[in-house]
Structure 1
């Protein structure tokens, strides 16, 4: 991408700039140290003063008191005439000669004489030579005092630390600039994750990235509008079809009931009418499930919250099956733990009754040769300390097909489509036939999830094993409720 190349180019340019700045500042620092610690100019001025204090007394050359004061700190001094003869000396070593050739003068004038650092000053036709103590001055092109040379190691470390700090300062400054450029992009990505629309300024080194994010946001907004329009059309279609089917279905079921009660119908005709009536009831329940799942899917079904005893509710559901003529090949057993009996929880009793009836009804409908349904109710606590009411339903029938379990897991709450189906693309006849019927279990799962619960299909060697977990965060016992009143 061009934007990435631009960012890389800016960073390379920044690194080159930092390097150049550090080099320039180091050069300036070296020059300052040279000027501050260099002794040549200061020494030359002092030696010129000493030369002026050497006077010709007629009998020879003598040094004034002021000159002796100026010589304090120096090791020795002598004065040469134009022929290189020593015409005046001060504390010179005994082994120094009394005459120096031009070659000797050229050798020591800028460097050393017998390991003594030497400073020279021309006074008329004469040459003043002043020697400093051995190992007091380091001379190489320029002259530095030995205290400075002894400090050079610590100064070098200080310079390194200063360079490191300077580089960090530059990096912080440019990093802060880059952070300020990236911060709107990070905020935009977070907003996109929240499905919010964004519009970032498309300038600077991140301008192209901002442009791409803006384009992505616009594309997502268009897709969102298409999905919302499709979902609205789907909901309206379901509501309309359900309404249109309900009236003729009621007439079919009503006439079937009337004909079943007629005395002139033989056994075979009544059997056929019974099938018509039962299939009409199934269609009615399917329509109700379709409407309910659509409302739950788009949060259009209000929860009528009220307190109730879950153990008492389950007994009523089981009893209603027996009172409505449960066939002898089916048995329903319910067992609630003692601690569950007094518990009160909050929820929509009508929806939860529908969910539990669907689960029991599934076991009965899919096991025509009969089965036993065992229902248990207990409590548990998860790792976070959250309490749950656990209702487990098992039967010893044919179990739940694997494709039904997979279809239930793949069902997407936001789209109502199987995973992998393209939005807006109709199913083929083959796909429609092969897709498992999961409406009943899907409705149960939606009801449980709408109550903040969990729906689990567990592996079983035989039959079905389903667990429904409802939160106990708002649970109360009957005794606590009485105390509060």
Structure 2
């Protein structure tokens, strides 16, 4: 994969270089063609050639002799040049501002050399014609210089083609070297990213570190974050799958036992020699087991709806002091709590929560009944209300550190609950109810030192009445 990416990268670089070279050559030839075709039109009127060609307007013929006007002399002075007028034989017949040592006669070969080359005084010469006369215009220390080139068309084309091929090859070699250099910086991280994505596809969520991340450092950081998130989701999924299997196993077990009792006692009811008293006892057992099964299925349905956030809440503003006090009174009136001591105290008489009273009542009663059921008969339970929330505390057996970590898991039973009747969903349901209200449950306990449960609500739900 790495070499495949490198090859693609190099191919792209080479294509770009070829395009750039081709475009540059087009631009170069276009400029040269435009210069050749329109160069004369774009020359400034102050150039030597243009000034020389236009200088004839300052000249006239008087009595057969050429005359240079005062305007022409002033133009020469401004331009920084001088002029000599020659007849057909090369003799100087008129001049203006010419040097004292300037020749008075020019042979044809001298005129050619003057026009083609600068003299020792760095003078550039220009030649033009007026009527039957020629005139030679010189500019000393001119910024314009004439360079004579001999142009051989076939030789130039051969040289240009070789130069183009050589330049293209050199550019391609440079592009390949640069491409190989940058490929280690670009294609290697890209290849690594592709491999990482393939690993994620194969459910390999391990976090990996790369030494040279370069400009892709945020990408690798995000890939590692995705790996960690997927790993946590995978662990959660495995945990939920295991929990689901445990739910099915526990529900099957919990339903199988009462179903076996119902079936057995139903068969006994069919016996002819069953007395009326036994028939009533059997019917009571069947009814009790049926009620247990109904409670188990109801609890299972409730915890699933709470878990999936499908349970509608019928909220209403509730003054907690009277609400919790009535719950404690109901528990005290229950025959199961005759031997335990339950107390209630409050220092937040005006505290209100916006809650579903039915569900919240069940959640709090689950915590209180749990303290009664899983402790000795003389356990002391204190329910208190503070501005922060509700606290349920007992001085019972407590919970081991291992059990605390899983105490709110569905169907989890602690080490001290082997002979306790129940569906195993009570604490999980209570926790889910409170969290559905936007609250939190905190449980602290030590084996042999009792248990403390604190119920809190967030600021939007927890409001202090005036």
1:470 equivalent in structure 2: 457
2:136 equivalent in structure 1: 129
Render the CA deviation track for 1:269-298: whole Å, top value 9, x for unaligned. x9xxx9999998876654432132133334
Is residue 325 of structure 2 the alignment partner of residue 319 of structure 1? no
In structure 2, the residue corresponding to 1:363 is in which secondary structure?
helix
1:203 equivalent in structure 2: none
Structure 1 position 349, deviation (Å): 0.8
**Contact 2:261–2:289 (CA<8 Å) still a contact in 1?**
no
Structure 1 position 378, deviation (Å): 3.0
Change (3 A) 1:417 1:372: closer
Give the one of 290, 299, 304 matched to 2:314: 304
Which shows bigger deviation, 277-286 or 296-305? 277-286
1:367 equivalent in structure 2: 375
Give the one of 432, 438, 442 matched to 1:452: 438
Q: Return the index of the structure with the highest Cα Rg.
A: 2
Which shows bigger deviation, 27-36 or 449-458? 27-36
Matches within 5 A, 1:70-109: 71=76, 73-74=78-79, 75-80=81-86, 86-98=92-104, 105-106=111-112, 108-109=114-115
Alpha-carbon separation, structure 2, partners of 1:360 and 1:300 = 26
Change (3 A) 1:442 1:301: same
Change (3 A) 1:25 1:342: farther
Alpha-carbon separation, structure 1, partners of 2:451 and 2:144 = 97
Which shows bigger deviation, 287-296 or 349-358? 287-296
In structure 2, the residue corresponding to 1:119 is in which secondary structure?
strand
TM-score in terms of structure 1 length: 0.49
Change (3 A) 1:251 1:377: farther
Structure 1 position 405, deviation (Å): 5.2
In structure 2, list runs of 5 or more residues that go unmatched: 149-246, 266-276, 413-422
Structure 1 position 354, deviation (Å): 0.6
**Contact 1:342–1:477 (CA<8 Å) still a contact in 2?**
yes
In structure 2, the residue corresponding to 1:78 is in which secondary structure?
strand
TM-score in terms of structure 2 length: 0.51
Render the CA deviation track for 1:75-119: whole Å, top value 9, x for unaligned. 212234567654432112334444567776555525655334543
**Contact 1:110–1:119 (CA<8 Å) still a contact in 2?**
no
Is residue 362 of structure 2 the alignment partner of residue 354 of structure 1? yes
Alpha-carbon separation, structure 1, partners of 2:426 and 2:17 = 65
Alpha-carbon separation, structure 1, partners of 2:319 and 2:333 = 21
Change (3 A) 1:9 1:121: same
The Cα RMSD (Å) is 5.8
Structure 1 position 352, deviation (Å): 0.3
Alpha-carbon separation, structure 1, partners of 2:139 and 2:313 = 103
**Contact 1:112–1:118 (CA<8 Å) still a contact in 2?**
yes
Change (3 A) 1:443 1:8: farther
Give the one of 421, 439, 459 matched to 2:425: 439
**Contact 2:83–2:138 (CA<8 Å) still a contact in 1?**
yes
Alpha-carbon separation, structure 2, partners of 1:29 and 1:363 = 96
Alpha-carbon separation, structure 2, partners of 1:98 and 1:329 = 147
Alpha-carbon separation, structure 2, partners of 1:417 and 1:54 = 121
Render the CA deviation track for 1:199-222: whole Å, top value 9, x for unaligned. xxxxxxxxxxxxxxxxxxxxxxxx
Matches within 5 A, 1:274-423: 285-325=295-335, 330-338=340-348, 341-368=349-376, 371-379=379-387, 389-400=388-399, 406-407=405-406
Change (3 A) 1:460 1:79: farther
**Contact 2:86–2:135 (CA<8 Å) still a contact in 1?**
yes
Structure 1 position 471, deviation (Å): 3.8
Change (3 A) 1:276 1:397: farther
**Contact 1:242–1:287 (CA<8 Å) still a contact in 2?**
no
Alpha-carbon separation, structure 1, partners of 2:104 and 2:446 = 120
Alpha-carbon separation, structure 2, partners of 1:91 and 1:286 = 126
Report the number of matched residues. 334
**Contact 2:318–2:353 (CA<8 Å) still a contact in 1?**
yes
**Contact 2:346–2:385 (CA<8 Å) still a contact in 1?**
yes
Change (3 A) 1:301 1:319: same
Alpha-carbon separation, structure 2, partners of 1:398 and 1:30 = 101
Alpha-carbon separation, structure 2, partners of 1:335 and 1:23 = 95
**Contact 2:124–2:146 (CA<8 Å) still a contact in 1?**
no
Alpha-carbon separation, structure 1, partners of 2:110 and 2:411 = 106
**Contact 1:77–1:130 (CA<8 Å) still a contact in 2?**
yes
Alpha-carbon separation, structure 1, partners of 2:264 and 2:355 = 35
